[in-house]
Amino acid sequence: MKKRVMFTLCASILFAGCNSGTTVNNNAAPACTIPAFNKQTAEQMLTNWGNGLQLYNVNTISDVYLGAGYFTMTYYTPDAILQPTVSPVQREGTQEIYNYFTHFLVTNPIMSIPSPESNVAMDLGCGYGGYVGYYDFLQYAGTDKQKTTNARFTFMYKYMETSFTSSFIVESGSQAGQTISQTNQPGWYIYQQQSSALPIE
């Protein structure tokens, strides 16, 4: 049975040591040289991710099996974990997250933020941050299948200090079976994401 990984907000505890001023030997901890994670950073990361849904969807890149892969490699770490909004399946790593977005991007999702002031950014220590709040998705806009999903999210971000390469195997389409890779520059990337539809009152 596939290993299950519990998603938790207790990351703040796990990374608390990054904020402490001393090491286990009571020596001064080295200063963190990574940019601090704040509300401005969190908002920009979410905006970029939402814009990416448009940049890589089927209206822009006709082959969703390529668009979904480039979207995943651009915004997620290679070992990221995704618990999608309405899917019961947890996705782990680039290939599985890519598979999810081959289904999601065909709905032409358009993200909006209903109340940005209510979303909360968290600095979880040197190189880690979190963002919790609400977003909406308009799907199949302009068709008889048009719908809006109201959801809540938790994004956990990790600052990658060096460039890194992600890759995926194309599952279908004109390049099925090929491995495609992309090298990303240092910066903030999603390493955990949990999303769920809001309950109907």
Q: What are 169's two structure tokens?
A: 């195997």
Task: Please give the Cα distance from 134 to 120 (Å, whole number).
Answer: 10
Q: What is the model's pLDDT at position 58?
A: 84
| Average pLDDT estimate for 71-94 | 97
Residue-wise pLDDT tens digits, 151-173: 999 999 999 999 999 999 999 99
Task: Specify the pairing of strand 110-112 against strand 128-139.
Answer: antiparallel
- Look at residue 16 and tell me whether its pLDDT is greater than 90: no
Q: Which domains does the chain have, with CATH numbers?
A: 35-197 (3.10.450.50)
Question: Quick one: angle between helices 64-75 and 39-55, nearest 10?
Answer: 170
| Average pLDDT estimate for 120-144 | 97
Q: What is the model's pLDDT at position 182?
A: 99
Closest listed residue to residue 190, CA positions, set 165, 168, 159: 159
To the nearest whole number, what is the mean pLDDT of the chain? 89
- What Rg do the C-alpha atoms of the chain give, in angstroms? 18
Which comes out higher in pLDDT, residue 188 or 21?
188
Model confidence at 27, pLDDT cuts 50, 70, 90, reads: low
- Look at residue 130 and tell me whether its pLDDT is greater than 90: yes
- φ, ψ of residue 85 in degrees (nearest 5): -60, -50
Model confidence at 12, pLDDT cuts 50, 70, 90, reads: very low
Residue-wise pLDDT tens digits, 86-115: 899 999 999 999 999 999 999 999 999 999
Model confidence at 201, pLDDT cuts 50, 70, 90, reads: confident
Q: What is the model's pLDDT at position 103?
A: 96
| Average pLDDT estimate for 26-50 | 91
Enter the pTM of the model.
0.86
Task: Please give the Cα distance from 189 to 180 (Å, whole number).
Answer: 19
